[in-house]
A and B are shown apart, each in its own frame.
Chain A
């Protein structure tokens, strides 16, 4: 039995008040809140184990390294990678994409090659490929969406003959869950390398990179209950082995002379400089927490809340929901427009009632241009979201309408 009230007890911030009102946090797709266990893990590291990793020969340094490297195994299991060498720690999804751009793309994409992505991508999985295409005089092909906000089936043909395919498993605006398994198979069949942006999907459902069949998968820790500055890039070992480093400097080297350097083994070759050690340990605790809840339960809960939000929002006059109508076709978020009111005003008035949503283009400007809207409002959910918070959102929207006489 999924007890949301009990789960909420683990998140101290949910007891906070903003402007004297209880916080209704509906912006988890931007970043999730963190359970106390995660916060404690970060502070305990600084209180008891702080030392730099992969260099200290003293006990504290060894302990820090052990705790840090243990997380790599947790991530490996969480996404079902074959080996911990396939897990590279990154700051976030954006950095992971850039690692692929510079490490793989610059070496392998040639003039005239085709790169395929989709119109629903977050800038982090769009701008790098747009720029790679420009730098290499390659062509960027963009798969369009249908009226429901799903990828157009017939446009998947664009994958044929492409060299690289980048697609999100879940859209951060439409909420659409893409059939990444199918897309990665099409990519594989046509000899293309595939990258899946898991920023919204990894925190929402079970992720199995072997089942998906992707070459790369990127995600951010801070959207899945972990601290900021954490994330990972999964890459197939044979591809990583042939990839160039992205950042040069300490930790990523094997031997350095005045004339030349040789590179460290996987995964450290791609992790130059001192990492965010305490935060990464926090990521490990966040993964434990999600696993304890069970990713299937997390998925079911988010789907439940999303279904309720779709129903309630659908009842509000003037609200237009963006994206698929069925909760089971969505990650845990709903973006919408409110007729005659700009999203920024929607968010501002909701904020006055303690309700936090996001308004704007959600780092998906190509999608908003495609939908021909300047911006949208988005409510997004997580393991701790309860239906009463959707009710508060609806009451808040009625207030917005009153202020605007809409």
Chain B
């Protein structure tokens, strides 16, 4: 069954939309990537700082819906303190678990939820030039 809005918009998701975690940019980021969701105009930028193979800082900015913003907050929170190598293995199911959502019947919302992960993957595969 498609998730209804009551199921989708859990209180903690709305709260994270209003007061996001790790919102902002990192000027000396080791990895950075921007992603767009062309269907709805969402934009997200992920910034990562790595020291000795460990993610010491992770931030995000941009504009998006409640789902993509909550996902960005939870995802950046989740990867902080982990090794870059282990976070590279994170996938769709890990993100959905963080959001406590089953979006298998909400394909458009799935894209919102996965936007931060997609940006992260794009970032860590291609370090910023000069780094």
Check if A and B associate: yes
Q: Which of B83-107 contact A (CB under 8 A)?
A: none
**Of B3-11, B24-32, B51-59, the one touching chain A:** B3-11
- Of the candidates A348, A349, A352, the one having the most CB atoms from chain B within 10 angstroms of its own CB is A348
- Beta-carbon contact of A403 and B41 below 8 Å: no
- Beta-carbon contact of B9 and A349 below 8 Å: yes
How many B residues face the partner with a CB closer than 8 A?
A: 21
Would you give the shortest CB distance from A335 to chain B, in whole angstroms? 12
CB-CB under 8 A for A374 and B43, given A345-B65, A348-B5, A349-B5: yes
Complex formed: what's the CA distance from A345 to B68 in Å? 10
Which residues of B sit under 8 angstroms from A344, Cβ to Cβ? 40, 42, 64-65, 67, 112
- Of the candidates A19, A344, A349, the one having the most CB atoms from chain B within 10 angstroms of its own CB is A344
Partner of B40, one of A352, A360, A403: A360
CB-CB under 8 A for A342 and B9, given A368-B41, A404-B14: no
B109: Cβ under 8 A from any A Cβ: yes
Which residues of B sit under 8 angstroms from A374, Cβ to Cβ? 41-43, 63-64
Complex formed: what's the CA distance from A348 to B110 in Å? 13
How many A residues face the partner with a CB closer than 8 A?
A: 19
A359: Cβ under 8 A from any B Cβ: yes
Q: Across the interface, name the chain A residue whose C-beta is closest to B62.
A: A374
Complex formed: what's the CA distance from A340 to B14 in Å? 11
Would you give the shortest CB distance from A99 to chain B, in whole angstroms? 25
Complex formed: what's the CA distance from A345 to B10 in Å? 13
Cβ proximity bits A339-355 to B, threshold 8 Å, 1 near / 0 not: 01011110011001000
- Beta-carbon contact of A405 and B14 below 8 Å: yes
A165: Cβ under 8 A from any B Cβ: no
Which residues of A sit under 8 angstroms from B14, Cβ to Cβ? 403-405
A361: Cβ under 8 A from any B Cβ: yes
Which residues of B sit under 8 angstroms from A368, Cβ to Cβ? 41
Complex formed: what's the CA distance from A349 to B40 in Å? 15
Would you give the shortest CB distance from B108 to chain A, in whole angstroms? 8
Complex formed: what's the CA distance from A342 to B40 in Å? 10
Complex formed: what's the CA distance from A404 to B17 in Å? 9
- Beta-carbon contact of B8 and A348 below 8 Å: yes
Complex formed: what's the CA distance from A158 to B43 in Å? 33
Which residues of B sit under 8 angstroms from A359, Cβ to Cβ? 40
Complex formed: what's the CA distance from A342 to B20 in Å? 14
Which residues of A sit under 8 angstroms from B66, Cβ to Cβ? 342, 345, 404
Which residues of A sit under 8 angstroms from B8, Cβ to Cβ? 348
Partner of B9, one of A343, A375, A403: A403
- Of the candidates B2, B9, B63, B109, the one having the most CB atoms from chain A within 10 angstroms of its own CB is B9
Partner of A342, one of B4, B39, B64: B64
Would you give the shortest CB distance from B17 to chain A, in whole angstroms? 8
Would you give the shortest CB distance from A346 to chain B, in whole angstroms? 9
Q: Across the interface, name the chain A residue whose C-beta is closest to B4.
A: A352
Which residues of B sit under 8 angstroms from A404, Cβ to Cβ? 9, 14, 17, 66
Q: Across the interface, name the chain B residue whose C-beta is closest to A375.
A: B41
Would you give the shortest CB distance from A262 to chain B, in whole angstroms? 42
Complex formed: what's the CA distance from A180 to B4 in Å? 45
Which residues of A sit under 8 angstroms from B40, Cβ to Cβ? 343-344, 359-361, 375
Would you give the shortest CB distance from B105 to chain A, in whole angstroms? 11
Which residues of B sit under 8 angstroms from A352, Cβ to Cβ? 4-5
Complex formed: what's the CA distance from A27 to B40 in Å? 15
Would you give the shortest CB distance from B2 to chain A, in whole angstroms? 7
CB-CB under 8 A for A360 and B41, given A345-B65, A348-B109, A403-B14: yes
18 examples of A-B residue contacts, CB within 8 angstroms: A19-B4, A342-B63, A342-B64, A343-B41, A344-B40, A344-B67, A348-B8, A348-B65, A349-B5, A361-B41, A365-B41, A374-B43, A374-B64, A375-B40, A375-B63, A404-B14, A405-B14, A405-B18
Where the two chains meet, the residues of A that have a C-beta atom closer than 8 Å to any C-beta of B are 19, 340, 342-345, 348-349, 352, 359-361, 365, 368, 374-375, 403-405
Known A344-B40, A375-B42, A405-B14; 12 more pairs at CB < 8 Å: A19-B4, A342-B42, A342-B69, A343-B40, A344-B64, A348-B8, A352-B5, A360-B39, A361-B40, A374-B63, A375-B41, A404-B14
